[in-house]
Each structure stands twice: as structure tokens, then as C-alpha cells.
Structure 1
Amino acid sequence: MSELHDRLASLYRAGHRRTVTGLRDDAEWLPEGERARRAAVLVAITDRPLPANEPASPGPGILFIQRPTRMRRHPGQVAFPGGGIDPGETPIQAALREAEEEIALPPTRVKIIGESDRYRTGSGFDISPVLAIVPPDLPLNANPAEVDSWFEAPLSFLLDTGNVRVGTGELNGRKRRFLEMQYQNYRIWGVTAAILYNLRRRLLRGPQL
């Protein structure tokens, strides 16, 4: 195992043993009487040398996809690889299957660290984030039926609360607050930004927004 894997695994175990307040969840925005569908996403961190040890290294990053603008749900949005959990699947199995379907990420190259806090969305999903380590520079390919493109954003950027903005919008006819980050030409916001926020709170005891 790599230094990054061991460090993240240690932070994961410690963070999920303690009580963490202020985690984000959108369950209250689900329309009354609607049942959330189970889903899973893969939070895939690239196993690059930590900058403190390798100053020239860009450091670890997280893999994201951008949905096609023609999709009925969440068109054009940045997301983690993932999707619905099929009958008989675990969240880990679903996250690995979806990542392979969407960006050709081989499940055999993924080292699972564990599942994190489930996130219920106002659009009707109950999402299990699966934290994992993957080798850097894999020859990934976006499936045009489901993904416009994929990209990697630096972990250091994503964990820096100074890069997070709190915005306001409307969901199901009600005003709500959401988080967002702008990385190059990509807007990382909504559910994806909230899952990152929850992970930051678990792993690093980051400030509450």
C-alpha cells in the first residue's frame, strides 16, 4: 500500500468513529411521499506523491465526470462517477460498475477505503459515497452515452474551504443554500460539492459552513 492510501485509511477510520455535526443532507427537500432511490458514487483519489514529500508533484486529485447537456436529469453537471444501485448490489459494487461503464475505470485498479455518509437529494436519490484510491494517469475514456468528459481536480484545492462559496437557489418551489467551487472551467456544486464537504468534515474536522 502507498503512503497516501495508509494516511487516508487512517483518517477515514478515525473520522468515522467520531460524531461529526453539521453534515449536509437534502432529505427535507424530497417531495412528500416520494421514495428516494439508492445510488452510489466513487470518490476516486489518484495515488500521486504528496507535495510535501515530492515538491514537484501536482499531488493527489479526485476524478470527476461532466454529464451531457442532453440528459433529462442534471444536464451538464459535474459529478462523481456513479449511478443507481441494482438489485442485489452493494454500494461498492455499484460504484465500481458505474465507474467502469462511464469512464472505463478497471475495478481491479481500485483500492477501496470505505463507504462514507449517505446523502439524500431533493431530486430523489439516496447516495452512498465510496472513498477509494486509484493509480494516476490511467487511460480512461468517457462513454459518450453517459459522459461528455472527465477530469481530475487537485485534492488540495478541493479540501481548501477558501475555495468554497455558499450560494442560494430554488428547489421544489423553496429557497435553499448550496455549496459550489469553480475549478478552471468546471463548476463543482450541489450534491457533488456537499459530498466533498461532508468528507472534509469527516477526515479533517474542517470548519462548518
Structure 2
Amino acid sequence: MDDEARLRRALARPAGESSDFDLNPAIRLPEGRKLRSAAVLVAVQPVPQGARLILTKRASHLKHHPGQISLPGGKQDQTDASLQATALREAREEVALPPDAVEILGALPAHETVTGFRVTPILALVRQPFIPVPEPGEVEEVFSVPLAHVLDRSRYAIEGRRWQGQVRRYYAVPWGPYYIWGATARILRGLAERAAE
């Protein structure tokens, strides 16, 4: 089965929402918490050598998540017509991906982050060549990883670090010098589960 067919099949499979707290059942979330809407673009480039997933390394001077690996995206603006529009706008701003170069396949289940966002991943294919340009205020580097790597569930490990006085567990799926973890890894792990043969 080719990559596009596998992704389309994954989208068609039912799945629940995920959370940064999935692996930490002892953490109690506040009742009535209000989550802010955000979206990320899971942008896959089909290339003859094997499809690639576009990722960014966040700038080291940022207040939130400096230096972390992430999918292009951010919070929904009032001017965004939809979460899909949010993901496309953010990808254009962060990595210079033109919206007309992208074919949207659909939305994956939302993911709740520890920072209070409800992030909707928008799965898309990059149909035209483009030259990534990192937005210097937010993005230190734009790179890609093989789609096969992030769709391979055996590549994921559960790791942990101290957070607010207790150990918080999370998924990680390192690739080369890049440590992909947290919400990004959890979103990709969810896609890998749905794309499993």
C-alpha cells in the first residue's frame, strides 16, 4: 500500500482524542478548564525516495517550548475561517509553505496539551515543490523526517521527566539529532496507530 493510501485509510479509522496526560493518569486536570483552539499541519511530501514529514525546530529564545521539535502551527486567530485555515496560515508564516501547494486530506483527532491548548492536527499532502524558509522570530530550522520512521510504532519510547514536582511520562520518537517528544510525538503516535497495517 502506498503512503497516500495508507494515510487516507488512517483518516477513515475511528479514534478518540489524545492528551499530554494520557500516560499520566494520576495527574488531575482542573474541572471546567477552558482550552484555547490551535491547529498544526501534518504536512507530508510524497517523493520518489519515500514520503517525508515536515517539522520545525522552535527558536531557542521563545518563551514557550524553546528549541523543541514541532509541527508547523499555532493558536487559532479570530480572522481564521477554520482550524484548517489556521494550520495553513501558520505553515505559510513559519516555513513559507504556500497554501495552494497543499492538498488537505482531513483532520485527525484533537490533542490537549499541558499548556492549555486543544490542538487539531490537519493531515495534508504537499503536492508542489517549495523551498522552506524558517521564520526567524519563531523557527530556528525546518527539516523533514521519513514518514516511514514516524509511522513505525516500534520507534516510539515512553520516557519521563520531572514536571511540577512529579515525573511526567511522554512519548518520544528521536530521529538523528532531533529529539521529537511531547505533544508532537503523541500526535504522530496516534497517526501511527491508525495507519498500522
TM-score range, shorter chain: 0.7 to 0.9
Query: How far apart, in 2, do the equivalents of 1:38 and 1:29 lie?
Result: 21
Aligned to 1:39: 38
2:52 is the alignment partner of 1:61: yes
Q: Equivalent pairs: percent with the same residue?
A: 35
- CA offset at residue 202 of structure 1? 2.0
TM norm structure 2: 0.87
Aligned to 2:111: 119
Asked whether the equivalents of residues 122 and 171 of structure 1 are also in contact (C-alpha less than 8 Å), the reply is no
Equivalent of 1:187 in 179, 183, 187: 179
Asked whether the equivalents of residues 9 and 195 of structure 2 are also in contact (C-alpha less than 8 Å), the reply is no
Asked whether the equivalents of residues 107 and 123 of structure 2 are also in contact (C-alpha less than 8 Å), the reply is yes
Q: Any residues of structure 2 matched to 1:56-205 within 5 Å, and which?
A: 57=49, 59-89=50-80, 90-135=82-127, 137-204=129-196
Using a 3 Å threshold, how does the CA distance of structure 1 residues 63 and 158 change in structure 2: closer, same or farther?
same
Asked whether the equivalents of residues 40 and 82 of structure 1 are also in contact (C-alpha less than 8 Å), the reply is yes
- CA offset at residue 31 of structure 1? 5.5
Using a 3 Å threshold, how does the CA distance of structure 1 residues 29 and 92 change in structure 2: closer, same or farther?
farther
Equivalent of 1:25 in 9, 19, 23: 19
Query: How far apart, in 2, do the equivalents of 1:30 and 1:149 lie?
Result: 33
Give the number of aligned pairs.
Answer: 190
- CA offset at residue 47 of structure 1? 1.4
Using a 3 Å threshold, how does the CA distance of structure 1 residues 117 and 9 change in structure 2: closer, same or farther?
same
Aligned to 2:24: none
Query: Unaligned stretches of 5+ in structure 1?
Result: 50-56
Task: Point out the more displaced range, 30-39 or 150-159.
Answer: 30-39
Aligned to 2:9: 10
- CA offset at residue 33 of structure 1? 5.9
Which 4+ runs in 1 deviate beyond 4 A? Answer: 27-34
- CA offset at residue 179 of structure 1? 0.8
Query: How far apart, in 2, do the equivalents of 1:138 and 1:151 lie?
Result: 13
Asked whether the equivalents of residues 29 and 171 of structure 1 are also in contact (C-alpha less than 8 Å), the reply is no
Query: How far apart, in 2, do the equivalents of 1:73 and 1:32 lie?
Result: 24
